[in-house]
Amino acid sequence: MSAYSPATGAGHREAGFSLIVVLLLLVVITVLGVGSAQLSIVNELGARSDRDHEVAFQAAEAALTDAELDVLGPNTDAKARLCLFNDKDITPFAPGCGREGASNHGLCAAAETGAVPAWMRADLSPESETSVAYGTFTGRKYATGSATTAASPRYVIEAMRNRGGWEVNRLRSASAGAVTHIFRVTAIGFGVRKETRVVLQTTLYKPAASAGCP
């Protein structure tokens, strides 16, 4: 029978305590490592999301510019339709925004007072047959693909009654013969992913017909 040694018992206790400390340190290091990895993933996802949003924003801005050329010119493309945009005659603007292949494609008649605005009911999806894809009437090209935007930016143009002139505090005449119109453009841009979308609007004023138009 061996005798109990106080020194040996103390050594066992010290070894056990050291093992616990090492295990705790390993747990702490593991938790910190996992947290750091998760934070890096979140930051990367956030950076990608911001970049995707910026791509979509730039695409929507490009669509607004394309629509401006469509309405105001200069536009020398074979499909140019500058003469359709007349501040007094809005006959080409249809309740359903026209159809693909037609000259009034993407031209939306204004909704009745109190009704949902035409741009909110318009189909701006990449597969839409009523909204206008970038370059349709200007001949311009917009790069699409996995490295740029998932789909071509699009727009619709809505004819709206001009309620006031450019002069401060001056309203337009209410008589039918004096009624004029402005054109509200609603454009959508897509990011690298189709799910990322940015919608922008602008209003265009065309006080005179384009050159060569009646």
Q: Running DSSP on this structure, what letter comes out for residue 84?
A: G
Residue 180 lies in a domain: yes
The DSSP result for 90-115, as a single string, is -TT-BTT---TTSTTTTEEPPPPTTS
Q: Which domain holds residue 117?
A: 46-204
pLDDT at 59: 95
Residue 15 lies in a domain: no
Task: Kindly report the pTM of this predicted structure.
Answer: 0.76
- How big is the CA angle at 90 (ends 117 and 80), to the nearest 5 degrees? 105
Residue 5 lies in a domain: no
Residue 31 lies in a domain: no
- 182, 162 Cβ separation under 8 angstroms: yes
pLDDT at 50: 87
Average pLDDT over every residue of 58-68: 97
Where residue 30 falls among pLDDT bands split at 50, 70, 90? confident
- In 61-153 the beta strands, taken as DSSP E runs, fall at 107-108, 132-133
The domain tally of the chain equals: 1
- In whole angstroms, give the CA distance from residue 54 to residue 27: 41
Residue 33 lies in a domain: no
pLDDT at 174: 53
> What's the full length of the chain, in residues?
214
Higher pLDDT, 112 or 201: 201
Where residue 13 falls among pLDDT bands split at 50, 70, 90? low
Residue 46 has pLDDT above 80, yes or no: no
Residue 122 lies in a domain: yes
Residue 132 lies in a domain: yes
Strand partners, 171: 164
Q: Running DSSP on this structure, what letter comes out for residue 189?
A: E
Q: Tally the C-alpha atoms within 13 A of residue 49's C-alpha that lie toward its C-beta.
A: 6
Which two tokens mark 28? 């702490």
Higher pLDDT, 146 or 171: 146
Where residue 120 falls among pLDDT bands split at 50, 70, 90? very high
Residue 84 lies in a domain: yes
Average pLDDT over every residue of 168-195: 78
Residue 62 has pLDDT above 60, yes or no: yes
